Each structure stands twice: as C-alpha cells, then as structure tokens.
C-alpha cells in the first residue's frame, strides 16, 4: 500500500470527498469509489476510448489520469447527460433511434467524446463525424449507425 491522499472531485455537479492511493486511476475511482459504473474500462492504455469522460468540459481518457490529479476539478460522466431517468439527452436519443449501439460497452465513451465535438461543430460533415469518432473503438456496429446517430443528433440539437 502506498500513502493515501485526501481529494475532492466534483462529478456531475456533486462533490465527492475521498481518501485514495496516488496510483488509483481516475476511471477506477469513478467506478469503485464514486459508484458510477457508466464509465467503462476497456484497454486501459488510452486506445479504445471506453473510459472517456469530460475533465473541466474537455474529453480525456480516465484510464490515463490518476484520481489525485482530478482533485479540485470538475468531471462529467455519462450519468450526467440525461436530465432525468425518463428524459434522455438528444445525443442519447439519436443513438437509440439510429441503432448506434449493439452491446453498448463503448457507448458511454462515444457519447462523452461527442458532446464537446457537437458543441464546437454544430453542423458537422460526415467526414468530420468519422474523424471525431476515430478516438473511440466499437466492435459491434461497423460505425455506420453511429455516424448516422451523430448526424441525427446534430440536427436535433441545433435545429
């Protein structure tokens, strides 16, 4: 065991105080300490994108940061997207409508990468969408339905 450190992280608007070892990854902190299991852990070396969360509004790999580094920062996870359990975010809705997922393991990472992308690119071309998706891996859909979902979301969000 290494020495522990006290940290406080705001996740989806709620402040979490914990005492953690420095080697605890942010992804594992979110899942095991904050009990928010929507953030998934895939490759654990920054390639698959399943653990993508927003750090102060920008997408980052939660497996490539230590929880202690997020001390005093704001994190947003997939649980922070929907307004309420029965009112999904337009991006989530579009993934549902366009069948942009099959097993769903990669979906939280896709959603968190796409939120800032659609903010900065309200009317993306298909090429821009494909480039934006390149940092997240999906092994089920073949991506076509994800591309459709993003185009649908862009229309719905910026009509």
Partner 1 sequence: MKPAPFEYFAPDSLEEALELKSEHGDEMKALAGGQSLIPAMNFRVAQPSVLVDLNRIGELDYIEERQGAIHIGAMTRQSTVEKSKLIEQHAPLLYEGMPYIAHPQIRNRGTLGGSIAHADPAAELPVLALALEAEMQINSKTGSRKVPAKQFFQGYFTVDIQANELLTEVILPRFPENTGWSFQEISRRPGDYGMAGVAALVTLEEGPKCSKAKMVYLNVGDGPVDAVQAAESLSGATLDSKTIEAAAIIAAEKDIMPFGNIHASVEYQRHLSKILTERALSQAFERAQEQL
**Footprint of partner 1 (CB under 8 A):** 1-3, 5, 21-25, 28, 44-46, 49, 52, 55, 58-61, 63-66, 68-69, 113, 117, 131-132, 134-135
Q: Is 39 helix (H, G, I), strand (E, B) or coil?
A: coil
The structure tokens listed for 20 are 């953690």
- Cβ-based nearer residue to partner 1, 90 or 135: 135
The structure tokens listed for 59 are 């997408």
Task: Provide the minimum distance between the beta carbon of 48 and partner 1 in the complex, in angstroms, as a whole number.
Answer: 11
Cα(148)–Cα(54) distance, integer angstroms: 23
Cα(80)–Cα(82) distance, integer angstroms: 6
- Cβ-based nearer residue to partner 1, 18 or 93: 18
Nearest partner of 92 among 157, 14, 13, 158, judged by Cα: 157
Task: Provide the minimum distance between the beta carbon of 100 and partner 1 in the complex, in angstroms, as a whole number.
Answer: 19
- Cβ-based nearer residue to partner 1, 14 or 21: 21
- Cβ-based nearer residue to partner 1, 99 or 131: 131
């Amino acid at each position: 065991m290494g020495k522990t450190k006290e940290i406080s992280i705001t996740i989806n608007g709620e402040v979490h105080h914990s005492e953690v070892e420095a080697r605890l990854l942010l992804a594992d902190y979110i899942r095991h300490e904050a009990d928010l299991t929507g953030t998934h852990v895939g490759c654990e070396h920054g390639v698959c994108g399943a653990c993508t969360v927003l750090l102060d509004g920008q997408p980052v790999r939660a497996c490539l940061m230590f929880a202690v580094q997020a001390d005093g920062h704001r994190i947003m996870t997939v649980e922070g997207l929907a307004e309420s359990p029965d009112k999904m975010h337009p991006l989530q809705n579009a993934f549902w409508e366009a069948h942009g997922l099959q097993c769903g393991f990669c979906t939280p990472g896709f959603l968190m990468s796409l939120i800032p992308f659609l903010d900065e690119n309200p009317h993306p071309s298909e090429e821009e969408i494909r480039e934006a998706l390149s940092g997240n891996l999906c092994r089920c859909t073949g991506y076509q339905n994800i591309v459709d979902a993003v185009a649908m979301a862009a229309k719905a969000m910026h009509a």
